[in-house]
Amino acid sequence: MEAGTDVDVCTKWSETLRVYHNTSCELENELQAKHDLGLSEFEVLLILGRACGEQAGYKARMKDIEAEMYLSQSALSRTVTRLEKAGLVTRAACDFDRRANFLMLTPSGLERFEAAKPTHRAVLVKHLTDPAASARAETCA
């Protein structure tokens, strides 16, 4: 039983690694090439964008966004800085708690997000529906 478990676990891990690397590499490449967005940056837009729908009024606190993604607090801070410099997002002080920052999509940010969404979805469908299609990518090692 031990050996059996080992084999299963190793195989499962290999499979997870394969899917993760192929998918995230292609996501990164496609989003960068077509929309000038890193994957982390897109993920922030995704969190803001999917809640906001068509009106650009949705706000989220940094802490809440952090809780939704696998990114350290410092990395998120810098990612948001990049998005802010690109004009896709604005920081706004919180009325109640002046330690906190609200984050909002700008119209330009919403536009960029909507443009990138199909690219994101397409890569996911490609790699997660047909395992055979998710062959080793040519870039990203």
Q: Which residues bind a copy of itself (CB under 8 A)?
A: 5-6, 9-10, 12-13, 16-21, 23, 66, 69-73, 75, 121, 124-125, 128-129, 140-141
140: left (phi over 0), alpha (psi -120 to 50) or beta: left
In the complex, the smallest distance separating the C-beta of residue 120 from DNA, rounded to whole angstroms, is: 16
Measured from the CB atom, is 3 or 141 closer to DNA? Answer: 141
CB of 95 to a copy of itself, least distance (A): 27
CB of 16 to DNA, least distance (A): 16
Nearest to 137 by CA among 10, 20, 12, 15: 20
What does the alpha-carbon distance between residue 71 and residue 62 come to, in Å, rounded to a whole number?
Answer: 11
For a copy of itself, the closer CB: 43 or 101: 43
The least CB distance from residue 80 to DNA, in Å, is 6
63 makes contact, choosing from a copy of itself, DNA, none, with CB < 5 to 8 Å by partner type, with DNA
- Report the partner that residue 6 touches, choosing among DNA, a copy of itself, none (CB closer than 5 to 8 A by kind): a copy of itself
Of 57 and 98, which has the nearer Cβ to DNA? Answer: 98
Q: Cα separations (Å) of 34 from 12, 17, 31, 69?
A: 32, 25, 5, 23
